[in-house]
Structure 1
Amino acid sequence: MILRNALLGIFLAMGVSLAMLVFLSWLAYDRSVESNNRTQSVNHTYRVRLKNKDILATVNTIETGERGYLLTKDEKYLQPYGEGRSSMKGILRSMELLVRDNPRQQKRVDSIKKEISRRITLIEFNIERTRNGYGIDTVKLSDGKNHMENIRSLCKELDNEERELLTYRSILQKEADENTNFFLLLLSAVSLAFLLVFFRLLYIELRRRITFQKTLEEKLTDLERANAELEQFAYVASHDLQEPLRKIRAFGERLKIKQSELLTDDGKTNVLKINQSAIRMQQLIDDLLMFSRTANLRERIFEEVNLNSVFRDVKDELNDLIEQKKVTIISEVLPTVQGIEFQLFQLFNNLISNAIKYSKADTPPIIEIDCQKVNGSELPNLGDIQKDNIYHRISFMDNGIGFDPIYSEKIFIIFQRLHNRTEYEGTGIGLALCRRIVTNHNGFIVAEAKPNQEGSIFHVYLPT
């Protein structure tokens, strides 16, 4: 859960950071577009002013050509006049396109076109008059001068407005450039800050994982040490403890056989109790050895195990008891799992023999074995990852004496018994051994009491 919260925090921080970076990137892009637009506006103003100067220069060229011809009557002066007239149409057309976004300037350009047209009409009149041998018409010449003054005045007004626009647009361009630089700098700073934060978070998480890894290694070392001690205990139990126990049983049997005639009835009873206690002690040692063996990590070699074969082997093992008790066992087809065969054999053996042992005296035992695939979510107190796993649920159902539901966990504790030894024999290790085996296989075992003590159900969950 801690790891999940840490990862969730990192992903949340990453999401917020990416959102902020996207927002700042959009702002920087928007400011960049704005700066580009302002630059284009300034450039547009310069182009209008240059085109305005072209109009004045072309009009002056046309007028100069007219004056030269009127004074000298030399046709060569009409060449710049003709070239000026030819280029004037293109210049005026370009100017109209440039000022189409400004209604006031459009009106001025229209007025300039009209004045130029009138001026050219008067120039053509004067040129034609001169060609025909007439003198200069001073009235027309004066009108032409007035038209020229109007053209200059209109061009000056147009240029003045463009100059004001240039000043205003230059200020906006400067502000846009400053904003663009600011947002680019802010974006770089925030990106660097987020990068440092991510490195810090990753460093903290890496250090936490290293610490966790060291702790885990220490736990594994402790577990190996405990396992070694358990193996040593198993050795002591199998040799040092069993040797005096065998002698107790041997001398008890010798006393019973050779000294039977010398013993009183009370003495014979005591010898019998000695032998029974020794047998019980031997069974307890054997069960403890089996319990300790399941904790041996070296024997946890997993392989494919067909549970149908395991079930058949257990039935063969318990065949005499099954026939004696007239037991009916009904089993579905069982799966093949990854596991340790001898441990799964012990698991099936313990659960089936328990169902037989705790059967009702007046009712033939019926044991049903059911198998289904289930989701881990039906198991309580599981982690989020385990809840998504799929398990084989193998249920052992019987019609025996059952148990009180309050003891559904206690019965799996080693040496815990719900009945007196005189009622049901046993060491109190069997179900604890079952839980150990199931845990070794990364599974779970759950005990369920049927209503009205009509039997019990043991659910074994093994990974698929």
Structure 2
Amino acid sequence: MNKKLVNLIFGISLSVLLLLSVLTFDRLSTFKEYSDIIDRSNQTLLAISNLKSGFNTAIAEQRSYLLTKDTTYYYQFQEEKNYMRHSLQQFSRLTREDKVHQYYAEKLEEQVDNRIQSLLVEVINDTSSAKYKYVQNELIFKNEQINRDFYELINKVDQHEKLLLKRRLRLKEFEEQFTPFLLFILTLATLGFLGYSFVLVSRELQKRDEATELLQENVENLNRSNKELEQYAYVASHDLQEPLRKIRMFATKLTRDHSENLDEKGLNLLQRMDASSERMTNLINDLLSLSRLLSDEPEKENVKLQLVVNEVLQSFEDKTEDVEIDLGELPEISGHKGQIYQLFQNLIGNAIKFRRNDVNSFIRVKAYKKVRYKGDIPSMYHHIVVKDNGKGFDRQFKDKMFTVFGRLEKTSDVEGTGIGLSICSRIMQNHGGEIDADGEVNEGAEFHLYFPA
């Protein structure tokens, strides 16, 4: 299954979920906004109704005072007058965002002021202290036109607000019907994408489970084959060594017992046959050693490198009489003593094998502490350097040195199986370390061993 397809589907699902969340928040905000607008419209209609009712009540209170001369009606008229102004202010505040209503508010304020003034004139005209006297009925009749203009204007305002309220209610109803449908569709789409993603991931997990089972089965078959191959290699090696021993034994017997019957050419052939048999024996032994390193996982112990290297040097004592040995103080590590012995035996043996005859040879083994990094994590290592001043090697062949049968071009005529350094590399791997080499032709070689401290 294409990983990009799964990522795309999950991305679309998350995008739709995000859109659904944003849309839900927006719809809730819109509902609240419409609710506020409708509530404001209802308050506006109430202010209009209060203004209309206050206007009528003020006229009624003023008429009652003129007829009865009861000051109670006069005070009530004054209260209604103030109430009308309050209602007008409330209407103006509620409709400040509507230009049409603001225009009506200015007209209403003007007409309310005119009507209040005319009512006050009627009251004053009815008193004995009035400077100018009008016929009261004529004055009342004259002010009726102001009443009609006010009622006409207030009705227009009322109709305009009711029309606005009707439109707003219609929009709110549409939103109430459309929004659940839209949210339902988006929810279904999200569930569909998530469901499809779940199906794809389930299929992939099932395939991986099947692949894991198959891989486990292949690993078991491979381990079984490796064990069979190890047994076969062990048996085959021993079977190969037996005829080689016979060949060497017969060659030695021919040389010892019948050398007088052979000419120089025959003796040379026997010697070459014996040398080839010896090289074949060494090769088989090295292959067996490498095979054991690849298969065995021996328990580790504390190994004193100082003692191990001294034992190796003693084993080469007859070959190092004219070699200067410089052995530093070596640390104690955790490892397998047999493998460590083989490691230094191969390295020191190479240093002896590749000596130069034109210089005084030396072999130095020194130890240092070194910090190495794996990513950003530092680790402490024992850095062991095995250095000589022998024939050295060309750096371009360094990678070839640690492979099986990795013989360098410049040393192809030297005795050896070409497996020794590959054995060293495997030993370092078994100990969680690394091996590296550096050198120059006719300048010597250095082998760097890094053991975890």
Structure-1-length-normalised TM-score: 0.73
- Listed one character per residue, the Cα deviations across residues 119-178 of structure 1 (whole Å, up to 9, x for unaligned) are 344445545666879998113322442332222122122223323433444455456556
Whole-Å Cα distance in 2 between the matches of residues 461 and 112 of structure 1?
99
Alignment of 1:84-95 (within 5 A): 84-85=80-81, 87-95=83-91
Is 2:47 the partner of 1:48? no
Whole-Å Cα distance in 1 between the matches of residues 289 and 157 of structure 2?
108
| Paired residues of 1:227 and 1:295 also in contact (CA < 8 A) | no
* Sequence identity (%): 32
| Paired residues of 2:57 and 2:80 also in contact (CA < 8 A) | yes
Whole-Å Cα distance in 2 between the matches of residues 279 and 60 of structure 1?
135
Q: Give 1:294 deviation, angstroms.
A: 0.9
Q: Give 1:97 deviation, angstroms.
A: 1.4
Partner amino acid, structure 2, of 1:192: L
Aligned to 1:109: 105
Residue of structure 2 aligned with 1:343, choices 335, 339, 342:
339
Query: Structure 1 residues 164 and 142, CA, compared in 2 at 3 Å: closer, same or farther?
Result: same
| Paired residues of 2:306 and 2:329 also in contact (CA < 8 A) | no
Aligned to 1:213: 212
Stretch of structure 1 that moved more, 323-332 or 217-226 = 323-332
Query: Structure 1 residues 47 and 121, CA, compared in 2 at 3 Å: closer, same or farther?
Result: same
Query: Structure 1 residues 205 and 304, CA, compared in 2 at 3 Å: closer, same or farther?
Result: farther
Query: Number of aligned pairs?
Result: 443
| Paired residues of 2:16 and 2:186 also in contact (CA < 8 A) | no
Q: Which runs of 5+ in 2 are unaligned?
A: none
Q: Give 1:98 deviation, angstroms.
A: 0.6
Q: Give 1:52 deviation, angstroms.
A: 0.6
Partner amino acid, structure 2, of 1:203: S
| Paired residues of 1:230 and 1:292 also in contact (CA < 8 A) | no
Q: What SS does the corresponding residue of 1:59 show, helix, strand or coil?
A: helix
Aligned to 1:149: 148
Q: Give 1:354 deviation, angstroms.
A: 1.8
Q: What SS does the corresponding residue of 1:29 show, helix, strand or coil?
A: helix
Aligned to 1:454: 443
Aligned to 2:92: 96
Q: What SS does the corresponding residue of 1:436 show, helix, strand or coil?
A: helix
Stretch of structure 1 that moved more, 164-173 or 56-65 = 164-173
Q: Give 1:224 deviation, angstroms.
A: 1.5
Is 2:109 the partner of 1:119? no
Aligned to 1:59: 55
| Paired residues of 1:409 and 1:447 also in contact (CA < 8 A) | no
Residue of structure 2 aligned with 1:324, choices 321, 324, 327:
321
Query: Structure 1 residues 419 and 169, CA, compared in 2 at 3 Å: closer, same or farther?
Result: closer
Q: What SS does the corresponding residue of 2:418 show, helix, strand or coil?
A: coil
Aligned to 1:383: none
Q: Give 1:428 deviation, angstroms.
A: 2.6
Partner amino acid, structure 2, of 1:149: R
Q: Give 1:56 deviation, angstroms.
A: 0.7
Q: CA RMSD in A?
A: 4.7
Q: Give 1:86 deviation, angstroms.
A: 5.3
- Listed one character per residue, the Cα deviations across residues 238-266 of structure 1 (whole Å, up to 9, x for unaligned) are 76555666677677778878x58987677
| Paired residues of 2:365 and 2:387 also in contact (CA < 8 A) | yes
| Paired residues of 1:415 and 1:428 also in contact (CA < 8 A) | yes
| Paired residues of 1:108 and 1:158 also in contact (CA < 8 A) | yes
Q: Give 1:293 deviation, angstroms.
A: 0.8
Q: Which runs of 5+ in 1 are unaligned?
A: 377-386
Is 2:134 the partner of 1:139? no
Query: Structure 1 residues 193 and 216, CA, compared in 2 at 3 Å: closer, same or farther?
Result: same
Aligned to 1:434: 424
Aligned to 1:292: 291
- Listed one character per residue, the Cα deviations across residues 85-123 of structure 1 (whole Å, up to 9, x for unaligned) are 454343233222112223442342233234334434444
Partner amino acid, structure 1, of 2:150: I
Q: What SS does the corresponding residue of 1:229 show, helix, strand or coil?
A: helix
Aligned to 2:25: 29
Whole-Å Cα distance in 2 between the matches of residues 207 and 461 of structure 1?
44
Whole-Å Cα distance in 1 between the matches of residues 18 and 94 of structure 2?
37
Query: Structure 1 residues 398 and 39, CA, compared in 2 at 3 Å: closer, same or farther?
Result: farther
Is 2:404 the partner of 1:414? yes
Stretch of structure 1 that moved more, 14-23 or 89-98 = 14-23
Whole-Å Cα distance in 1 between the matches of residues 267 and 76 of structure 2?
153
